Amino acid sequence: MNRLFGIATYAGAAVLMGLALFTVADVVMRYFFNSPIRGTFELSGLILSVVVAAALVAATAKEEHISVDALYEKMAPLWRRILDIAAVVTGIVALSLLIWQGFSDFMHYARAGEYTDMLRAPVYPFRLILVLGFALCLVAMLRILVRLIRRRSTSD
């Protein structure tokens, strides 16, 4: 499973690098040759869904989400563990809803044959990638929940 999380992370980084190079090329073409790359805005929006999905998986798998722990550190270990479990369960519920709604959107776009206006690129593959990212994130959250529940010592 860690290998799958790693692949998602590196794929997201590669896509982000490609997006950055694409944006630089568009800027160069626009300002030096007065000939912008057609569909840059549309393509950037579609590609960002891949980057968001990969970043979410990477942050969740490594447990590196932003947190404010000013009060958390002052709590008793048992209350910290309860708070950790509650946070993960809340994340699992939220991700489950995102997967459900995202899959519904994917099916709608796939059936309707929705395409972007300028490039005529299909929208549904990018919706599916986002749903798969949410699903991988859910798997990571479930792993975290199992680890939290199995942990015997509250001092860990």
Asked if the structure places residue 8 within a domain, the reply is: yes
| pLDDT tens, residue by residue, 40-80 | 888 898 899 889 888 888 888 888 777 777 888 888 988 98
Q: How far is CA 10 from CA 7, 43, 47, 99, in A?
A: 5, 20, 15, 22
Give the total number of structural domains in the chain: 1
Task: Show Cβ contacts of residue 132 under 8 Å, excluding neighbours closer than 6 positions.
Answer: 53
SS3 89: helix
Asked if the structure places residue 155 within a domain, the reply is: no
DSSP code for 64: -
Asked if the structure places residue 59 within a domain, the reply is: yes
Asked if the structure places residue 50 within a domain, the reply is: yes
Asked if the structure places residue 156 within a domain, the reply is: no
Burial state string for 60-97 with b = 16 or more CB within 10 A and e = fewer than 16: bbeeeeeeeeeeeeeeeeeebbeebeebbeebbeebee
Asked if the structure places residue 45 within a domain, the reply is: yes
| pLDDT band (50, 70, 90) for residue 118 | confident
Asked if the structure places residue 129 within a domain, the reply is: yes
Could you list the residue range(s) of the whole structural domain that residue 130 is in? 2-150
Asked if the structure places residue 56 within a domain, the reply is: yes
| pLDDT tens, residue by residue, 78-106 | 898 999 999 999 999 999 999 999 999 99
pTM: 0.81
